[in-house]
Structure 1
Amino acid sequence: MQSTAFIVFHSAATPCAEPAGLRRTLAAAGHAVIKEQSFERAGRNGARWEVTGTVRQLRALVNPLDNLLARSEDLELRTSAIAVVPAALVRAKKLLLVMDVDSTLIKQEVIELLAAHAGREAEVAAVTEAAMRGELDFAASLHARVATLAGLDAEVIDAVRGRLELSDGAAELIAAFKAAGHHVAVVSGGFAQILDPLAAELGLDFARANDLVIVDGKLTGMVNGQVVDRAYKEVMLRTWARELGVDMEHTIAAGDGANDLDMVGAAGLGVAFNAKPLLREAADARIDLPRLDIIADLVGIS
């Protein structure tokens, strides 16, 4: 049976123009487009082509074109993207999507919201930014940032939880995956006291984050147990896939920073969502538009 994969492109432009030279490039290399499907969604338009060839062959052709788009001086082109998605992933009856939380599932960085209550937001934000660029050890940076919270009333957790904003398309993405019989989980370098109620509200299958130590109603500036760093995120992706009986080739991982590198690299499809350069370069697909539900477009879930 002939190997195929899916090429998916999307753009904020209306209509979404076929990437220049894509069809010619494929044909010149001996690949045929055997099925085409256009889609129009909130905030973007695009198309999904089923193409003959292996994922490796097609990425060798498509990735240079996507890199050209990413470096374009034209904002409309720069936020367009092309990705190759394995056919096995699109056709899987059961998928597992695992997402980062801060700046992925939600628009904010929770630790910065907490630090604002201690008057340390700018300081903590600078450390967070460096950690997400991969310039600092995440566990060490987390301990340093959490230490700035020492002495805060635990009530700030409720105040911060009330300020959370889901990324555009996040609720729609989760609903689409769940309606199709798939599984969704989140793993975060943030905090369980913030994440667990949100995960329950969204109906997620699993959620894992760091546990803030609270004594006598005050934050101590410490966390309990294993820090959720990049290695641990991959462990959770593999653990949940095993518990659900989902093959790793049928998993999707999405994030925005260096702390997501391992799980994005291990998943059947790794997605960089408005990500730092280190993760963008490592991911299988990039999303540079503010719509998280583009992930559903990538794997053909409407």
Structure 2
Amino acid sequence: MTTNVTAVSYALELSPADTARLRAVYEESGAAIVAESTTGDDRYQVSVTELAIGSGQADPDLSDPNQAAGLQALREALSEPGLSGIDTALVPSELRSAGRKLLIMDVDSTLIQQEVIELLAAYAGKFEEVAAVTEAAMRGELDFTQSLHARVAVLAGLPVDVVDAVRAEVRLSLGAAELVKAFKAAGHVVAVVSGGFNQILQPIAEDLGLDYWQANELEIVDGVLTGKVLGDVVDRAAKEKYLRQWAATERIDLAHTIAVGDGANDLDMLGAAGIGVAFNAKPAVRAVTPAAINFPYLDAVRHIAGV
């Protein structure tokens, strides 16, 4: 029987009883278990189960009512309270088996642990004010471009030295370096796109050996931040644009791309990719994204992608 979809379940602790419950959910939802395996380390555990759903075609055809209904029933069953603490991504087998993939990630609160604009604002004595606006923007309550201009404006007059100071404060998310290394070692393409700033992102991208990266450019005149950004803002639409552009450049089908982000400005990118992954994301993002990681280890993405 041909595998349609791979269920990748992950949790800080995944006991034999948990995997048995997952197995029961698959079977009760009408999915046939083709193969299963478990892996993990002292940080988290992963269960990978290959399933056949509906007509048994190579990958789910959502235009087929039987397959679409089967997948939806399975998604709903996997969200039941009895499986609390266990996240499961239903991943197209085509994506996991693809010979070449593109991983694209947001930066602030995804690739890195912090929000850079908040770190910069702290030097202007505006941390709490800017953090509140950032939070609202990430929840999708404010227009991202307008909110970014407003937040950057409070930086006017700061010496350029604060950029170096903030760069030293930035910390990669746990597992970020391992994730990039695994994708690169397997011959895949890794990119990041950010509503943050090139001045912070460039050395990070170079250190990690990323293939593509893009962020906003802070305007600096005579060694001082002007409180403005140069050119068009990297917003929600731009993130999707870069995903499509870089995938086309690398001749990688969109179905073979993985996007990771946490905020509302990532939604277009998450929706356009072969699979979107909400990483410790805002509720509105988790609600509409096919996969979610709700613990701090970014390298769990490699298990979702089959890398």
TM category, shorter: over 0.9
The superposition leaves residues 57-103 of structure 1 with CA deviations (integer Å, 9 ceiling, x where unpaired) of 5531332233335xx7xxxx643201100000000000000000000
Give 1:19 deviation, angstroms.
5.3
Deviation at 1:13, TM superposition (A): 1.1
Q: Residue in 2 aligned with 1:59?
A: 71
- How is 1:1-302 mapped onto 2 (pairs within 5 angstroms)? 2-15=2-15, 17-18=17-18, 21-53=21-53, 55=60, 56-69=68-81, 78-301=84-307
2:256 alignment partner AA: H
What runs of 5+ residues in structure 2 fail to find an aligned partner?
54-58, 61-67
CA separation of 1:28 and 1:62: change in aligned 2, threshold 3 A: closer
Q: 1:267 and 1:17 mapped to 2: Cα distance?
A: 33
Superposed structure 1 runs of 4+ greater than 6 Å apart: none
CA distance in 2: counterparts of 1:133 and 1:237, whole angstroms: 22
Length-normalised TM-score, structure 2 = 0.92
Which whole-Å CA distance do the structure 2 matches of 1:48 and 1:61 have between them?
19
SS of 1:50's equivalent in the other structure is strand
Q: In the aligned structure 2, how far is the partner of 1:17 from the partner of 1:24?
A: 11
* Alignment deviations for residues 28-57 of structure 1 (CA, whole Å, 9 cap, x no partner): 444211111111134110210111125445
What is the root-mean-square deviation in Å for CA atoms of aligned residues?
Answer: 1.7
Which AA in structure 2 matches 1:260?
A: D
Percent identity at matched positions?
Answer: 53
Q: Is the 8 A contact 1:62 1:84 kept in 2?
A: no
SS in 2 for 1:172: helix
Which position in structure 1 is the counterpart of 2:63? none
Contact preservation (8 Å) 2:261, 2:279: yes
Tell whether the 8 Å contact from 1:149 to 1:220 is kept in structure 2 after alignment: yes
- Provide closer, same or farther for how the CA distance between residues 176 and 123 of structure 1 changes in structure 2, counting only shifts above 3 A: same
Structure 1: distance between partners of 2:25 and 2:14: 24
* Residue deviations 1:117-154 (CA, integer Å, cap 9, x gap): 00001000000000000000000000000000000001
| 8 Å Cα contact 1:58/1:84 also seen in 2 | no
Would the aligned equivalents of 2:275 and 2:291 in 1 still touch at CA under 8 Å? Answer: yes
- What is the Cα deviation at residue 179 of structure 1? 0.7
Gaps of 5+ in 1: none
Contact conserved, 1:187 with 1:236, CA < 8 A, in 2?
Answer: yes
* Count of aligned positions: 295
The one-letter code sitting in structure 1 at the alignment partner of 2:51 is: V
